[in-house]
Structure 1
Amino acid sequence: MLEEEEEEEEEEGRVILHQLLFVAGMIEVLAIPLQKPPPISPCPSVFTYALEEKTGAWKGIIVVTPTKLPLHVRVELFMKGQLSEKKYNGALVLAENEDMVRERLLAKDYSLVKYNLYFSPHYLVPLVQRILVNGKIVCQGPDKFYIPLISGRVVTEIVMDHILQEDDPSIIFGDAFSDNSRCGLIPTAKPLILHSTATSRGQWPWHAAIYKNGLYLCAGALITQSAVLTVAHCVTNSEVAEDHSKFTVHLGKYHLRKEDDGAQEAKVDKIYVHPSFNSTTFYSDLAVLRLASPVTLTEYVTPVCLESGIDVRSFEEPRGYVAGWGMDEQGAQTEDLRMAIMPIVPQEVCLRSYPEFFGYFSNNKTFCAGNRNGTSPCNGDSGGAMVQPRSADNGTQVWFLRGLVSLSVSKVNGTKRICNSEHYTVFTDVTKHLRWISQHIK
């Protein structure tokens, strides 16, 4: 009997897939056992299992008929065995552009909506128990306790939700701020240095340095006097927010290791992690740090503006400015704040450039940017803001937040793995998360 079990385990482990995981600012390739063929769907017209050609992993495809906004799709799954993590590492995401689906529903076009259901690669493919659309059951599977496959074993229930809200037109420039006259302004005029990575003090007054246990960790962007926006993977462990007392935020800094006159340090009072954040796919890689006390606005400390969603294709020259203290070309942490000017590229261009990577990590909540010429954000730049200028009616230049540095392809540099600037960088699209952000900064 023991020999038979060993043979089954050996057979199950023969096939492997390589999954990209982002670890401490680096991408590493790990060999993970491929799961057995999935079970039969209880409702093929609504849910089917499909094999991802790029990764060799199983996923679910859900097609539903919407009836209204908000559109709430819930998937209830179960599998044998227990989780070895605090949270099941899967994701339910729209397979279509979120804004286009919302526009269809607002126009009372209730044509089919498609979702992708990504399973954790660490467990067997789960079975579907129920799928609900706005509380109505559209797919009913068998009860978990009557399936011979898992009878008598430990059963884990998994629930995934996706809610498509109505767009909120009130979330525009200034509405989220108590002092909106100050956001996005650079009090002391600073010339932009277009052909260098050098910056000057006060040029990016919203740039935040996030420290964990006294050590620099990631960047962020000041969006109100009491809130800093950063990426979730910097402040979470297994998708759960870490203890807020471990973190401090430094604003008005130009030198990473030296003291700067006018710099301010703030304790973190609360960490809000986006509920859709997935630490495997980096979906909705976003978090809000609420500061224990408001910072003082000065020429070196000023919040950046938020705005309603913008399609990057609407800009004649879609590019953004990214500042940071990431590693330089030699893999050393920079001391002075530096800047990169990065063109935003269409999603299809990004995908074709490296489908094995960007096919996994880019989605409808991200965008790609970069020059692929040695100039890009690097390790230590995660959470850094991409900003873009607008001209106000009075001619004043106002800066708006477009996205946050999320992750990039890595390469080996001596004994370390650092970012590969010959590839594009993936940014969390802030304009696709404005409703959630506004709920946590008021």
Structure 2
Amino acid sequence: MIFHLVIVQLVLIFIGSALSQEFRFISEALQGGSPCRNGVLFMERFIGGPPSKENYWNGSINFDLYKNLPEARISLFLTAPATIFLDEEDGRVLSDSDAFHITFLKKDDGSFNGKFRVQGRPKGDFPNVAGLTLNNVDICPNLTEWKPTILGAGNTGSIDLANRDDETDPVSLSPCGQRKVQHQGLITNGFPSEEGDWPWHAAIYHVDSIIFSYKCGGTLVSSRAVITAGHCVVDNNNIIVPERVLVRLGQHNRLVTNSNTKEYRVYKIIPHEEFDTTNLRNDIAILKLATEVSFTNYIQPACLWDKSSTDLNEVVKEAGYVVGWGFNEQDELSDILSQGRMPVVSFTTCLSSNRPFFGHYLSDMNYCAGFRNGTSVCNGDSGGGMFFKVNNIFRLRGIVSLAVTREDKNICNSKHYVIFTDSAKYLNWIETHLLD
């Protein structure tokens, strides 16, 4: 039996469409995509979890595609029995023997929060989308079926492209952590990168009226989330409001944007609950973007670290990749995104190099890296990632946190190691908040 949501009629004015995206791995344990060509519905889910609960997906209706909706009532047809949940502040759900009824509530600003959760039966068939209507108008023709990874059922997961034609954009089929633009000689310490080398690197700006000030780097890890340092979202010792933060993706020249650069507003800032501005413990934050990112050759997500291998000793003495627009040899912010490699050092090595400084800031949730020879990340690189290439996949391991400052200027001293937040130690926290 096909279960569905039945709605009351409303006026629908369609103003445009966006390319839908094939279902893909967004990060190491997160899958998602749109079954609709116009991208009106986005589905995502984490792989794993208790077998009794993993047969689910979280959905989001992109009401921005439609103009002047007096009310928002949808019909969602499913291929298997399921229960639908949504926040009571966002809408109401009713059900009978073979149908669900949902009405989204208009917010004060006239918008609707079209988020909900579809929970299938334990060990039952996955509740795919069989149809989607708004005001009894089909807004999701030519559906793509999703066959996700359900660990409890023993499935390996696959992508069904039977309903797609050869013109589908191939970049949307790719997993995380892979470059789409290939260059020769990609990494040379302290040298400019080529456009497209680091498609997950984000530029974070603080906005004051009409003035945009570059603040930090960040890492795109899903179609809606950027990970950065906690201190990058602080202004005057307070967490900055989301409306004052702008994220640019696909940016190569800090001073110039082009057709590969896209800007995104932030609707939610999630610093770690135990972030301490005095010693920068738990120096990590997630920026939730107001609109879904469209992946291109120049904008791609990085993979999170593998949960099964978070021991820091496994990467000590290994060189990770770092990028940013930090201060150069002239003590000025770089115009072009720079790149380099830095080896991770042990806790003991780092501590003994400068005990007064590192003794205050080091913990089991961060680590040190660097050469102590003038090659280093610096002011302006904060929040950016350290990546390791594992089986040809770039995974995020660290977040630039802080460094020793020079005696003559309030900028980094490249003769000392740099502290990185160990993002691998926060994977559970990250995954929890990616679905907030």
TM-score range, shorter chain: 0.5 to 0.7
1:317/1:409 CA distance change after superposition, 3 Å: closer
SS of alignment partner, residue 221 of structure 2: strand
Q: Which amino acid aligns with 2:283?
A: D
Aligned to 2:322: 322
Aligned to 2:275: 277
Q: Which amino acid aligns with 2:414?
A: S
1:412/1:258 CA distance change after superposition, 3 Å: farther
**Does structure 1 retain, via aligned residues, the 8 Å contact 2:316–2:343?**
no
For residues 193-272 of structure 1, what are the structure 2 equivalents within 5 Å?
193-213=187-207, 214-237=212-235, 240-272=238-270
Does residue 376 of structure 1 match 2:376?
A: yes
Aligned to 2:302: 304
Query: Alignment partner for residue 409 of structure 1, among 394, 404, 419?
Result: 404
For residues 25-44 of structure 1, what are the structure 2 equivalents within 5 Å?
none
1:180/1:363 CA distance change after superposition, 3 Å: farther
Q: TM-score by structure 2 length?
A: 0.57
* Cα displacement (A) at 1:194: 3.2
Aligned to 2:349: 349
**Larger relative contact order (Cα-Cα within 8 Å, sequence gap ≥ 6):** 1
CA distance in 1 between partners of 2:271 and 2:304 (Å):
18
Aligned to 1:293: 291
1:408/1:301 CA distance change after superposition, 3 Å: same
* Cα displacement (A) at 1:405: 0.2
* Cα displacement (A) at 1:268: 0.3
1:278/1:202 CA distance change after superposition, 3 Å: same
CA distance in 2 between partners of 1:317 and 1:278 (Å):
29
CA distance in 2 between partners of 1:262 and 1:195 (Å):
25
1:239/1:316 CA distance change after superposition, 3 Å: closer
* Cα displacement (A) at 1:261: 2.4
1:409/1:180 CA distance change after superposition, 3 Å: farther
SS of alignment partner, residue 186 of structure 1: coil
CA distance in 2 between partners of 1:244 and 1:320 (Å):
31
Q: Which amino acid aligns with 1:363?
A: S
**Does structure 2 retain, via aligned residues, the 8 Å contact 1:366–1:426?**
yes
Q: TM-score by structure 1 length?
A: 0.56
Q: Which amino acid aligns with 1:408?
A: A
1:240/1:196 CA distance change after superposition, 3 Å: closer
SS of alignment partner, residue 208 of structure 1: strand
**Does structure 2 retain, via aligned residues, the 8 Å contact 1:249–1:268?**
yes
SS of alignment partner, residue 320 of structure 1: strand
**Does structure 1 retain, via aligned residues, the 8 Å contact 2:385–2:398?**
yes
Could you give the per-residue CA deviations for residues 102-154 of structure 1, whole angstroms, max 9, x where no partner exists? xxxxxxxxxxxxxxxxxxxxxxxxxxxxxxxxxxxxxxxxxxxxxxxxxxxxx
**Does structure 1 retain, via aligned residues, the 8 Å contact 2:221–2:227?**
yes
**Does structure 1 retain, via aligned residues, the 8 Å contact 2:316–2:345?**
no
* Cα displacement (A) at 1:329: 1.5
* Unmatched 5+ stretches in structure 1: 1-168, 392-396
SS of alignment partner, residue 382 of structure 2: coil
CA distance in 2 between partners of 1:269 and 1:322 (Å):
27
Question: RMSD across aligned C-alpha pairs, in angstroms?
Answer: 2.2
Could you give the per-residue CA deviations for residues 195-220 of structure 1, whole angstroms, max 9, x where no partner exists? 55221000000000000011111110
Could you give the per-residue CA deviations for residues 380-416 of structure 1, whole angstroms, max 9, x where no partner exists? 110010001011xxxxx11000010000000145xx4
Aligned to 1:117: none
Aligned to 2:414: 421
Query: Alignment partner for residue 181 of structure 2, among 176, 185, 188?
Result: 188
1:347/1:317 CA distance change after superposition, 3 Å: closer
Q: Which amino acid aligns with 2:419?
A: V
* Unmatched 5+ stretches in structure 2: 1-150, 158-171
**Does structure 2 retain, via aligned residues, the 8 Å contact 1:193–1:199?**
yes
* Cα displacement (A) at 1:182: 2.5
CA distance in 2 between partners of 1:196 and 1:359 (Å):
28
Aligned to 2:433: 440
CA distance in 1 between partners of 2:190 and 2:383 (Å):
22
* Cα displacement (A) at 1:189: 1.7
Instruction: Count how many residue pairs are aligned between Structure 1 and Structure 2.
Output: 261
Aligned to 1:156: none
* Cα displacement (A) at 1:180: 8.7
CA distance in 2 between partners of 1:427 and 1:205 (Å):
21
Could you give the per-residue CA deviations for residues 157-177 of structure 1, whole angstroms, max 9, x where no partner exists? xxxxxxxxxxxx99xxx99xx
1:196/1:216 CA distance change after superposition, 3 Å: closer
CA distance in 1 between partners of 2:201 and 2:379 (Å):
16
For residues 165-184 of structure 1, what are the structure 2 equivalents within 5 Å?
181-184=174-177
CA distance in 2 between partners of 1:245 and 1:259 (Å):
21
**Does structure 2 retain, via aligned residues, the 8 Å contact 1:239–1:278?**
no
Q: Which amino acid aligns with 1:199?
A: S
Aligned to 1:85: none
SS of alignment partner, residue 440 of structure 1: helix
SS of alignment partner, residue 275 of structure 2: coil
1:320/1:262 CA distance change after superposition, 3 Å: same
CA distance in 2 between partners of 1:364 and 1:337 (Å):
30
CA distance in 1 between partners of 2:344 and 2:413 (Å):
17
**Does structure 1 retain, via aligned residues, the 8 Å contact 2:232–2:382?**
yes
CA distance in 2 between partners of 1:328 and 1:261 (Å):
27
SS of alignment partner, residue 434 of structure 2: coil
* Cα displacement (A) at 1:260: 2.4
**Does structure 2 retain, via aligned residues, the 8 Å contact 1:225–1:294?**
yes
* Cα displacement (A) at 1:224: 0.4
Q: Which amino acid aligns with 1:353?
A: S
SS of alignment partner, residue 192 of structure 2: coil
CA distance in 2 between partners of 1:290 and 1:202 (Å):
23
